[in-house]
A and B are shown apart, each in its own frame.
Chain A
Amino acid sequence: MAEPTFLPRASFQTLLDALARAGYRCIGPQRRDGAIVYDTLRGPEDLPQGARDIQSPGRYRIERPDGPRCFAWANGPQALKPFLFAPRESLWRSERDAGSAINFAEVRPASEPLAVIGARACDLAALKLQDRHFLEGPFADAAYGARREQLFLVAIHCTHPADTCFCVSTGDGPRATDGFDLALSELDDGFLVQAGSEKGAAVAAQLPLEKSAPAQRDAAEREIGAAAQKQARRLPGRNLRDALFANLEHPRWEEVAARCLSCGNCTSVCPTCFCHSESDRPSLDGTVSVHVREWDSCFTQGHSYIHGIVIRADTRTRYRQWLTHKLGSWHDQYGRSGCVGCGRCITWCPVGIDITAEVAVICSAEFGVRSAE
Chain B
Amino acid sequence: MNAKPKIAVHKFASCDGCQLAFLNLGEELLALAELVEIMHFAEAGPVNLDAQVDIAFIEGSVSTPDDLVRIQKIRANTRFLITIGACATSGGVQALRNLADGREWIASVYAQPEYIESLATSTSIASHVKVDLELWGCPVSGRQVLAAVRALLFGVAPVEERDKVCMECKRTQAVCVLVAKGVPCLGPVTRTGCGALCPRFGRDCYGCYGPAENPNTEALGLRFAGLGLLPEQIARRFLFIDNAAPVFAEAGARWRSAADD
Complexed CA–CA distance, A359 and B254 (Å): 32
Contacts of A284 in B (CB 8 A): 28, 31-32, 35, 146, 149-150
Complexed CA–CA distance, A230 and B146 (Å): 54
128-182 of chain B: CB within 8 A of chain A: 146-147, 149-150, 153-154, 159, 162-164, 166-167, 170-182
Complexed CA–CA distance, A288 and B167 (Å): 27
Q: How far is the CB of B210 from chain A (nearest CB, A)?
A: 15
A300 touches B179 (CB 8 A): no
Contacts of A155 in B (CB 8 A): none
Residue B188 interfacial (CB < 8 Å): yes
Which listed residue (A60, A265, A315, A347) contacts B170, Cβ 8 A?
A265
Contacts of A76 in B (CB 8 A): 175
Contacts of B182 in A (CB 8 A): 59
Q: Mark A58-102, 1 if CB is under 8 A from B, else 0.
A: 111100000000000000111000100001100000000000000
Residue B239 interfacial (CB < 8 Å): no
Residue B213 interfacial (CB < 8 Å): yes
Contacts of A82 in B (CB 8 A): 173
Contacts of A286 in B (CB 8 A): 150, 153-154
Complexed CA–CA distance, A258 and B175 (Å): 25
A34 touches B220 (CB 8 A): no
Contacts of B34 in A (CB 8 A): 285
B188 touches A300 (CB 8 A): no
Complexed CA–CA distance, A315 and B214 (Å): 8
A348 touches B179 (CB 8 A): yes
Residue A282 interfacial (CB < 8 Å): yes
241-283 of chain A: CB within 8 A of chain B: 258-265, 268-269, 279, 281-283
Contacts of B174 in A (CB 8 A): 33
Contacts of A301 in B (CB 8 A): 162-163, 213-214
Residue A294 interfacial (CB < 8 Å): yes
Of the listed residues B150, B185, B218, the one surrounded by the most CB atoms of chain A closer than 10 A to its CB is B150
B171 touches A350 (CB 8 A): no
What residue in chain A is nearest B189 (Cβ atoms)?
Answer: A261
Contacts of A88 in B (CB 8 A): 171
Contacts of A282 in B (CB 8 A): 150, 154
A265 touches B223 (CB 8 A): no
Which listed residue (A34, A259, A268, A279) contacts B166, Cβ 8 A?
A268
Interface residues of B toward A: which range?
A: 35 or more
Which listed residue (B146, B153, B187, B218) contacts A263, Cβ 8 A?
B187
B167 touches A314 (CB 8 A): no
Of the listed residues B175, B179, B219, B220, the one surrounded by the most CB atoms of chain A closer than 10 A to its CB is B179
Complexed CA–CA distance, A261 and B163 (Å): 12
B146 touches A261 (CB 8 A): no
Complexed CA–CA distance, A65 and B79 (Å): 62
Q: Taking A33-B202, A262-B216, A284-B31 as contacts, is the C-beta distance between A297 and B167 under 8 angstroms?
A: yes
Which listed residue (B149, B170, B177, B222) contacts A264, Cβ 8 A?
B170
Complexed CA–CA distance, A313 and B214 (Å): 8
Q: How far is the CB of A61 from chain B (nearest CB, A)?
A: 7
Of the listed residues A77, A283, A313, A315, the one surrounded by the most CB atoms of chain B closer than 10 A to its CB is A77
B188 touches A261 (CB 8 A): yes
Residue A207 interfacial (CB < 8 Å): no
Q: Taking A33-B180, A77-B176 as contacts, is the C-beta distance between A268 and B150 under 8 angstroms?
A: no
Contacts of A313 in B (CB 8 A): 214
Residue A295 interfacial (CB < 8 Å): yes
Contacts of B188 in A (CB 8 A): 261, 263, 265, 350
Number of chain A residues close to chain B: CB under 8 A: 48
What residue in chain B is nearest A297 (Cβ atoms)?
Answer: B167
Residue A35 interfacial (CB < 8 Å): yes
A261 touches B31 (CB 8 A): no
Q: How far is the CB of A287 from chain B (nearest CB, A)?
A: 11
A350 touches B223 (CB 8 A): yes
Q: Mark A288-312, 1 if CB is under 8 A from B, else 0.
A: 0000001111001110000000000
Q: How far is the CB of A121 from chain B (nearest CB, A)?
A: 22
Contacts of A211 in B (CB 8 A): none
Residue A351 interfacial (CB < 8 Å): yes
A351 touches B163 (CB 8 A): no
Which listed residue (B150, B214, B219) contacts A351, Cβ 8 A?
B219
Residue A37 interfacial (CB < 8 Å): yes
What residue in chain A is nearest B173 (Cβ atoms)?
Answer: A82
What residue in chain B is nearest A33 (Cβ atoms)?
Answer: B175
206-251 of chain A: CB within 8 A of chain B: none
A300 touches B175 (CB 8 A): no
Q: How far is the CB of A358 from chain B (nearest CB, A)?
A: 14
333-373 of chain A: CB within 8 A of chain B: 347-352
Residue A21 interfacial (CB < 8 Å): no
Complexed CA–CA distance, A76 and B174 (Å): 12
Contacts of B213 in A (CB 8 A): 300-301
17-45 of chain A: CB within 8 A of chain B: 32-35, 37
Complexed CA–CA distance, A117 and B146 (Å): 42
Which listed residue (B31, B149, B176) contacts A265, Cβ 8 A?
B176
What residue in chain B is nearest A310 (Cβ atoms)?
Answer: B213
Complexed CA–CA distance, A35 and B177 (Å): 10
Q: Taking A33-B174, A37-B173 as contacts, is the C-beta distance between A60 and B179 under 8 angstroms?
A: yes
11 contacts between A and B (CB under 8 A): A35-B180, A77-B176, A88-B171, A260-B216, A261-B219, A262-B214, A284-B28, A300-B213, A302-B163, A347-B179, A352-B223
Chain A positions near chain B (C-beta within 8 angstroms) = 32-35, 37, 58-61, 76-78, 82, 87-88, 258-265, 268-269, 279, 281-286, 294-297, 300-302, 313-315, 347-352
Given A78-B173, A285-B35, 4 further pairs, Cβ under 8 A = A87-B173, A261-B220, A286-B150, A352-B223
The 7 closest A-B pairs by CB, nearest first: A268-B170, A87-B171, A263-B188, A34-B180, A261-B188, A263-B166, A33-B175
